[in-house]
Amino acid sequence: MNATLEDRLRHHYDERTRDIPHHGPGLEDGAVLRINPGLSEPRPHRAARVALVIGTVAAATVLGLLVLNRPTDNVPAVGSGGSSPLSSTDPAQALAPAATLPNGGDVSETPVTVAGTAPTDWYRLQPDLDVAWYQVPSGQSPTMLCWRTPVGSECLADDYPGALPLIVPTAGGQTLVVTGVTDGKTTLDVQLASGAILTAPIVVDDTISWGVARYQLPEGDSITSVGTASVNPGVADKVPGQTLPATVGLNDTPLTIPAGSELSYWRWFADLDISERQTAAGGTELCWRTPAGTGCIDDSFISPEVGIIPTDGGAILLARPALIEISPAPTDPLAPKFEQGPPPTTITVTLSDGSTVTADINYGDQFGVGYARVTLAAGVTVASAASS
């Protein structure tokens, strides 16, 4: 098994610092040393952090490749939500084409991009799916990717980020999803407009390494996203109301994305997805998705400020330690001017009906932000909250 980049980094650092002793010069012989546990075995938080960073990498792969697949033994795709209809085709058995394309003279044995203004040399990817590429000789236009099935045809510009995954209708009410990267995986998930997630086997073409997954969608439904269905239920936490539906394409770790990027969610709890995004002004916003809706809050809250996120039947409250100004201010130019205060332990919430409740703050290992929950009666909202 290949070592992950994170493991290679740790090994590299360990090797480079191998000769540095565990104590400084000048200590008396026989002194009892208390070595930083972070530098000696065991490293209690490493496993979780390795998982976190591996998740980061996986998430980056999601963003980069657009198309994800899933291990063969993960069937069917099931998200954490309890409110979503889930179904799947049998991943072990692909649907058969309902009709096939005729063997015309324009079908080529090899996939080629031809110079021209229309597709001429089609490549048979499936019995009911041909693809073809052409480019206008001037070179100024992008390569065009065309498809044809028994029920229709279309050509698309294949410029960045590319036309894949390609979703095409075919005979018998079936839908084909063409993926460019299969990475050895054998099934592919799609999410439908109805919220259902379908899983189907990928049939890989040996010549061009593209994969095709075949789905029978319910009448009137359509595919809204392609990727890997999340099997991550989020951090275990008692959810007072509805949970979020299963979804395709969740990140495996919270990831701050550049300003202007499309939100890229990570499932924190069964009723909360978050997406951190930089803002054009240079800050960071924390965008949330719960059964109660979606929104974004400024991510700069520090104690006593609290981030408030409504959810079904209550609210999720977020808190971070305060930054305390070091006083008197150090004159040392290398010294910090602020330091992190102790983590707040409780949140006091003032409700819209005038009552006050307090909640204990929990700190998980994955996200570095404390959270608490309050349940709310119908019609009552959080008016204000402060951590201490």
Partner 1 sequence: MTSDTEPGHAGDRTWIAELYEREWSSLVRVAFLLTSSRSTAEEIVQDAFVRLQTTRTTVLNPAAYLRTVVVNACRDVHRHQAVVARNPPPAPEPAIAEHDEMFDALARLPWRQQAALVLRFHVDLAEPEIAAALGCRPTTVRSLVHRALATLRKDLSE
Summarize as ranges the residues that interact with partner 1 (CB under 8 A).
5-6, 8-10, 12-14, 16-17, 19-24, 27, 31-36, 38-39, 43, 45-46, 49, 53, 56-57, 60, 254-256, 276, 278, 284, 299-300, 320-321, 324, 326-330, 332-336, 339-342, 368
SS (H, E, C) 347-359: EEEEECCCCEEEE
Q: Are residues 93 and 79 in contact, defined by beta-carbon separation less than 8 angstroms?
A: no
Q: Is 111 exposed, middle or buried (0-12, 13-18, 19+ CB in 10 A)?
A: middle
In whole angstroms, what separates CA 155 from the centre of its chain?
Answer: 30
Whether 56 and 366 have beta carbons less than 8 Å apart is answered as no
Q: Specify the residue, 114 or 324, whose C-beta has the smaller distance to partner 1.
A: 324
Q: From the CB of 276, what's the least distance to partner 1, in Å?
A: 6
Min separation Cβ 246 and partner 1, Å = 26
As a residue count, the chain comes to 388
In the chain, the amino acid numbered 367 is: F
Please report, as a single letter, which amino acid is at residue 73: D
Q: Toward partner 1, which CB reaches closer, 44 or 127?
A: 44
**Minimum gap (Å) between residue 38 Cβ and partner 1:** 4
User: Where would I find the H helices in 25-136?
Assistant: 46-65
Question: Phi and psi of 63, rounded to 5°?
Answer: -70, -35
**Shortest distance (Å) from residue 227 CB to partner 1:** 19
Q: Are 28 and 21 in contact (CB under 8 A)?
A: no
Sole residue written with tokens 């480079």 = 16
Total Cβ atoms within 10 A of residue 358: 12
Residue 24 or residue 139: which is nearer to partner 1 going by CB? 24
Q: Which is nearer to partner 1, 63 or 155 (CB)?
A: 63
Measured from the CB of residue 22, what is the shortest distance to partner 1 in angstroms?
5
Distance between CA 47 and CA 49 in Å, rounded?
Answer: 5
Q: Which two tokens stand for residue 212?
A: 């095709």
Token pair belonging to 318: 């977020």
Considering the complex, state which of residue 130 and residue 299 has its C-beta at the smaller distance from partner 1: 299
Taking the complex as a whole, the smallest distance from the CB of residue 1 to partner 1 amounts, in Å, to 14
- Nearest 5°: the CA angle 300, 365, 53 is 90
Q: Which is nearer to partner 1, 128 or 299 (CB)?
A: 299
Structure-token pair, residue 354: 């005038």
Question: Nearest distance from residue 253's CB to partner 1, in Å?
Answer: 9
Q: Which is nearer to partner 1, 18 or 238 (CB)?
A: 18
CB 331 within 8 A of CB 364: no
Specify which residues 128 forms β-bridges with: none
**Beta carbon nearer to partner 1, 76 or 321:** 321
Q: How far is the CB of 154 from partner 1 (least distance, A)?
A: 34
Cβ 165 to partner 1, closest distance in Å?
Answer: 22
Q: Looking at beta carbons only, is 22 or 118 nearer to partner 1? A: 22
